[in-house]
Structure 1
Amino acid sequence: MQLTNAEEEIMQILWKLKEGLVRDIREEFPDPKPARNTVSTIVRILEKKGHVAHKTFGNVHVYYPLIKKEDYSKSQLFGVMKKYFDNSFPAMASFFAREKDLTIGQLEELMEETRKELKKENRTTNK
């Protein structure tokens, strides 16, 4: 599910907008905005890859994402973990803790947030 930087930029915009015309997508870019044809080409590439679809109204195409941002994010993070951290979450987490120079308090806060998320997950899967 690897996307180029340009494709990922378009997907980020579509996830934000939920759906939009090429014009709408282009308007979300900062100045200088990419050419309309560039945005249109990338959207069509994303459509061919199965990440985007469109609804047709006359001669107008309204594009919308087929993949969820959460699913894409998850695949990217697990890919990084596998590729760079020997598929070890603790190795990846400790790397980021070191790189971000987290304090003990921040690490404890992270642990508490993780516990809360796991408890929420256990509640939804046990129903």
Structure 2
Amino acid sequence: MQQLTRAEEEIMQKLWELKEARVRDVLEIMPEPKPAYNTVSTIIRILERKGVVGHQIEGKGYIYHPILKEEEFKKQSIKHLITDYFEGSFHKMASFFAKEEDLNKEEIEELLTHLKENKKRK
């Protein structure tokens, strides 16, 4: 998967939320200050070229939909984060965030429970 820019990620978030949308639909749910219509349209076309967004023709316009699943994007982004910033070590990343976020006892126990459940499934 190609890396997405921050602007592309923001548009993808809106498309995942809407499931399918015209450019104006995406623009309506963007936070203020809203980008220009042409900016959103251009970013969506870039996302299409990257193969993460598709479209159907409806009337004189297009309805866009995400091809890339949100969960797949998250998985690839986390792998990229671990590889590039934590020497490929999930342990180093988890330790970093546990220290930085100052997790309380309940949060740590919840994280350990999830890790143990995941280990049992494998």
1:19 is matched with 20
Alignment RMSD: 1.3
1:125 is matched with none
1:87 paired with 2:91, answer no
1:111–1:32: structure 2 CA closer, same or farther, 3 Å change rule? same
CA distance in structure 1 between the partners assigned to 2:81 and 2:33 by the alignment: 31
Deviation for aligned residue 1:107: 1.2
Q: Which amino acid aligns with 1:34?
A: P
1:104 paired with 2:99, answer no
Deviation for aligned residue 1:39: 0.5
1:56 is matched with 57
**Percent same amino acid at aligned positions?**
50
How far does the alpha carbon of each residue in 1:48-94 deviate from its partner, in whole angstroms, 9 at most, with x for none? Answer: 11110100012110000010011111111111101111101111100
CA distance in structure 1 between the partners assigned to 2:95 and 2:105 by the alignment: 12
Count residues with an aligned counterpart.
Answer: 121
Deviation for aligned residue 1:118: 4.3
1:43 is matched with 44
Q: Which amino acid aligns with 1:33?
A: K
CA distance in structure 2 between the partners assigned to 1:105 and 1:23 by the alignment: 43
Deviation for aligned residue 1:109: 1.6
Q: What stretches of structure 1 move > 4 A for 4+ residues in a row?
A: none
Q: Does the residue aligned with 2:30 lie in a helix, a strand or coil?
A: coil
Q: Which amino acid aligns with 1:92?
A: M
Deviation for aligned residue 1:114: 2.5
CA distance in structure 2 between the partners assigned to 1:8 and 1:103 by the alignment: 31
